[in-house]
Amino acid sequence: MKKENFSKAMNEMFGVGGDDRTESPAAEPVMSAPSEPYVSQEPYEPAETPIIPAPAPEPIAPLEMPLEREVDPFASAVAYTPAPSYSSRAVPMQKTILAAGTTFVGNMTAQGDVDMDCDFQGDIRANGTVTIRTRLAGDLSAKVAELVACEVQGDVHADESVRIDSNSKVIGNITGKDLNCAGSIQGNVQVSGHVTVNGSAYIEGDLEAASITIENGAGINGQMQVLPRKVQ
């Protein structure tokens, strides 16, 4: 018994000695031959699967696109202010001034008033008031004619009125709407409105108007006709 324990201890420590008996190796398992696969003698018929129709697709509603706001490319632009046009608005009346100490020769047409302090040789046509303070050798046509301490050798026409002060003289015919005369006239007077002959006035020629007022001291050498105004 001691010998067996010693041998067992030597075997455990140094790997020598021990039991000389050897265990027989375990028998290897024997593999059986593979069996043949099972083959059914009946023909294969697949099972009938019921056909289920696919559901109809739901209609797709059109996408509602948000309305794009139109962008005005000129919204941020600075407003254009056109230059004033004389054809689209009233034109302020302009005044033409002919200074004293000069002499003007030739005809003149003015769109506004005319203030003349110089000698003028020629015809004057204006849409406004023409004031003459010197000498005019020519015809005068205006909206209003004012003769102040002057002499006019020519015909005078006014759309509205002719005013002649006591220091003025006209050698020519006068036509227009109204006449207020305190000076002298050598020519015929034919107006559609009223004529006032002041006490200092003297008219040598025929006088025709719708109404006439003659003050004391006035002199008229000619025929007078008072004709009523024509109804328009």
Greater confidence, 27 or 156?
A: 156
pLDDT at 14: 59
pLDDT at 232: 46
Which tokens sit at 135?
């000498």
Q: What percent of the chain has pLDDT over 70?
A: 62
- Which residue in this structure is represented by tokens 């004619």? 145
How many CB atoms are closer than 10 A to CB 203? 26
Query: What does the pLDDT look like over 55-114, one tens digit per residue?
Result: 777 777 666 666 666 666 656 655 656 666 555 555 556 788 888 888 889 999 999 999
DSSP per residue over 38-100, as a string? P--SSPP-PPPPPPPPPPPPPPPPPP-PPPPPPP-TTTTSPPP-PPP-TTTSPPPPPEEEE-T
The count of residues in the chain is: 232
Q: What is the pTM of this model?
A: 0.59
